[in-house]
Amino acid sequence: MQPTMKRLGRIAGSTLAGAGALFIAVQINHPELTLEFVGSREFLIRESCKMLMAGLAAVGVLGLTVWHGRRIGALGVVAAVTFGSGYLAMLIVQAIAAFVLPSIVATSPDYVRDVLTAALGGRPAADIGGLQVLLGLSGVGYLAGGLLFGIALFRAGLVARWASALLAVATTSTVALAVLPTSFDRLFAIPAGIALVGIGWSAWRVAGAPRVAPRAGVVTEVVR
């Protein structure tokens, strides 16, 4: 394995593991999304962490795909584009939430309330413009991309298969949130975070493992 590709593998692994750890951390004791919470410092900190998480995940997915090249296959490339695009849309949404919503919560509380409703999967009372499109892209990218990317990694055997399978299951299981109370939102994010940590740690270890040269006897046997 070339040094450049080993570095790329380690970068991909560390960014995915970091994204997974942040994804889990921001769920701990997460307050209810209310207008009062939007105007708090904690809201800014949590949304900034979510921005970082989404950015790290997008970089990790792209890096993992480039690192393995053809081995991940056409399905893996399509999955990476879908999954990565979902995280990029998520990053933009979180940036708007962190830096725009707090500045307008006092003057446009109804709009902010509708945005929070849409973010929780509900139907806003009024049109929230392009944010609705971004939320949709983020949701589809996360759900479909996570399923396909998990399947592609599992089939290729590039990283720990348990983590690949967990990613596919954890991302698609979020469809159940449509019929579950909002209190389940945070719980459903934890398995996905664990999957990202597992994939990242596995990729980091594989990239850092020394290359084992084939034994002379084995080579001779093949040549014969």
pLDDT in tens, 121-173: 888 989 999 999 999 999 999 999 999 999 999 998 889 999 999 999 999 88
Q: What is the pTM of this model?
A: 0.85
Q: What is the mean pLDDT of residues 2-28?
A: 88
* pLDDT mean across residues, the chain: 86
Predicted confidence at residue 187, as pLDDT, reads 78
94-98 own/partner pairs: CB under 8 Å, 24+ apart: 94/47, 94/48, 94/50, 94/51, 94/54, 95/51, 96/131, 96/134, 97/38, 97/47, 98/43, 98/44, 98/47, 98/48, 98/51
Given a cut of 60, is residue 223 above it in pLDDT? no
Residue 176: which pLDDT band, with cuts at 50, 70 and 90?
Answer: low
The model's confidence at residue 102, banded by pLDDT at 50, 70 and 90, is: very high
**Domain spans of the chain, in order of start:** 3-223
Given a contact cutoff of 8 angstroms between Cβ atoms, the answer to whether 171 and 20 are in contact is no
The pLDDT score that the predictor gives to residue 160 is 92
Residue 213 has pLDDT above 70, yes or no: no
pLDDT band at 178; cut points 50, 70, 90:
low
Provide mean pLDDT across the span 187-211: 86
Q: Which residue has the higher pLDDT, 14 or 221?
A: 14
Which residue type does 32 have? E
Give residues with Cβ within 8 angstroms of 117, minimum separation 6. Answer: 123, 124, 125
Q: How confident is the model at residue 186 (pLDDT cuts 50, 70, 90)?
A: confident
Q: How far apart are the first and last CA of the chain?
A: 26
Residue 50 has pLDDT above 50, yes or no: yes
What mean pLDDT is predicted for residues 45-58? 95
Q: What is the pLDDT of residue 177?
A: 57
pLDDT (mean) for 81-105: 94
Residue 20 has pLDDT above 80, yes or no: yes
Q: Could you give the angle at which helices 161-172 and 130-156 cross, rounded to 10 degrees?
A: 150
